[in-house]
Structure 1
Amino acid sequence: MLLKALVGTVKDFWRMRQMPTQVRPKDTQSVITDVIVRRIPIQTRRTSISKAFVLISQGDESQKGKLLNAGPILALMDVVAGAISYRLSMGAAATISFDRVDLVKPVFHGDHVRLEGEVIGLGKSSMAVQVNVFRHDITTDTLEHTHDAIITMVAINRFGRPRKCLPELYDADCADYCLKMSQLAKQRKELSFQWRNEQDAVDELSFIKQSDLLLVKSKAEYVAVSETEVEVRNCFLPRNLNPHDTVFGGDLLSWMVRSHTKTKEMKKLRRCAFLKDKIALHCAQKFTKSEKMVTIAMNRVLFKLPILMLDMVRMRARVVYVDHFHLEVEVEVFIHSILHGGERKSHSGYFTVLNLDGNNKFKPIEKGLKIDENKQNEMRMLLKAQKRLKFEEEDTNLDTLKSRILAGEFAADQLKHH
């Protein structure tokens, strides 16, 4: 045991000595590929380590053409971000948060998807990774943009603590590009702090009145938030563990959006742990009595506690906001140690789910949430949800700026960057 600890300390020290003071994106190249079920010739290219991509066929062939839930995509996003951060930090790294995931276009079972990741900001131990997802359109032989995400990773030592050793993201040949990306990462960090402060401020309010909430359009029926709750319990297996013997963030997110399916064929898949519907989606479907719904965004998932294999995990989902066509589901994750007992909250996440009809057109949601001043706990949930909506515009503005940096405003720098 002493020898193992000594070797670990030496490795951490060696990494610190080998780490350069600056890193150019083009000097850190990495490609991630996976088995392609249906072979479609798509030309690959070399990319930077602050840039990587995964190309894989997704979903179940028997469900070909049907909408694919977000779980498999979220898990692959975590793989891409992990591969980039592991190599960039020259050692172990952990997923800290999924700041935001947005659906641009849907992905279907049987699609080939391509995931590209790039570091857009570096701290002393943290890495902000932008991940974009594309699906291959067979009819046009082109790649369609489907998802965007920003994932925060942190370099850790053998004790699982932050390892402050990362270089500066800089390239003299594209200095403007690096500067703009650094400013973008700083703005997003400030927005994240502001978001947490406003959410915490709601908890400090002594009493929330009905007038504090924005009224949405009238609904045919209203139910209490507590009546929308869905709860699941499960544990993880060795195949779900990362090199630090904790559960992969992507696997956890995939389960956050899972629930049980009912068909005979799906039971086989459930035994193999390949495919389950979303818990967030199931909660939304239970609320609307509509089966055709799709998750279009995920907001602010911050992993506060690691989850071990011997932990029993409990997830609770509830509807906390309803608009005309979409609603928001809050998913809370609690861990119960089988060895030590006691339950602690690990993290929470917020999923925006869109209601569709049989023709994939927007379908109005006829049910709403009750506003009852006698239930202050539910009033806080509703007020927090409305405050989160205000941040969506600021997030969108940052994403627009990011797109201009990556594709338009600094096109000359991008040519050098690639």
Structure 2
Amino acid sequence: GAKQSVELPPEPAAATSSEAAPPRPTNGGTLFKHQDGKWGVLTSAVIPELTDDNEGREDDQPKWILDVGDVTFPVSEKCNLVSNAASRRIDFLAPNGVYAIRFFSQPGYEAFMAEYKDALFEAVYGMRASDANKVKQFGQMGAWANGVDPAGAVWDLTDEPPPGADDAMKDFNQEEQHATEEGEDVMDMKMGAMDNSFLIRGNAVDVFRNREGGALSDAKQRVKLMDNANSYITPTKGLLANQESSMLLLSPNQGRREKIYQMDLESERVVSEWGCKLNDVDIPMLDMCGDNKRSQMTDDKTFLGLDSNRLIRWDRRMAEGVAQVLASPTLGRVEGKDYARGTNFSCMATTGDGCIAVGSMDGKIRLYSDKSMNQAKTSFPGLGSPITSIDVTYDGKWILATTATCLVLLHTCVRAKNQELTTAGGGR
């Protein structure tokens, strides 16, 4: 597949003294459109204008319109406007494509963003963007979201901390807590729904107790991970299973990414290992996750595996019932799909009903239905940077993904032909 470009074309070189530089409005910028996998200049100089079609009318119901050259559309959350102050850039969705504006000046960018935020507030909440109305909607959170304390805020030092906070802080401050040894990067964290949560780093899994109020306390348990050859395993991914009594581990070592290990959390040892093979060929896995978000609380024996161009549902049940023998049996393939070269999958997550969100190295995010892995139901265009991690809410309405420099939040709800609200992955 063609490589998607995230970078806008470079700005024109400054005019020489012998050239007459064309005037550029301080509140304007260059309009780009994304097509055929790259950005192209649509209009060299535009001034984005926000107008309220209902201003001065009796009902005073805000109806904001964004006009950018030949592109005109109502302001709403569907615009998915993303801003980048460092590059004076905004990206947004319009009815006929994906656009970007690179502003000529920082003051012009900041003035537009301030005006757009107020227009979006009025479009979403149907009320004027006054301080009183913002407080009515957000309370003190509105000020805190902007990095400032709300006016008149008084911090009461006698307020009680959240339940368990004192004990949790005491545990974390003690010298006996798990020290991160040299080279022990934190690779994964698995939050349990029951008693414990787990931190995977180096060749060990550290155990933490779940406390009231969302706090964690150090259980002072460290499980060293070794395979049947007494070689240390350095996993990069973990997956809770069997009602959180075991954890599946994926090792990133050279030549061993085709291995899945099962650690029994009660006996604190690796009890099983499997090879990932398809037609007698090793299939190195990049990521794995449960069939759905409930899987870790069930006894499901199947789970999903991912490599750069393949999505597979594996079954760890053995025909001879020898799951506890470290003999490297092969995982059974229940179903899956090999995709055209160029998908470059990197990570995945599942919803409560089994829809799958998959991130890619080109920044794209694809959604697959729980009914079929053959073709993505929806594909969100990427920012160009690889998706390094991804998660999705239980109801599938929100996707949270990370790149090396960005945190990406996507709303997946769309209107079906019957006007019923559904998620882009196919659920309601």
Q: Compare relative contact order (CA 8 Å, sep 6+) and give the higher one, 1 or 2.
A: 1
- Does the pair score TM above 0.5? no
Normalising to structure 2: TM-score of the pair?
0.21
- Structure with greater helix share of residues: 1
Larger of the two Rg values belongs to structure: 2
Structure having the higher strand fraction is: 2
Give TM-score, length-normalised by structure 1: 0.22
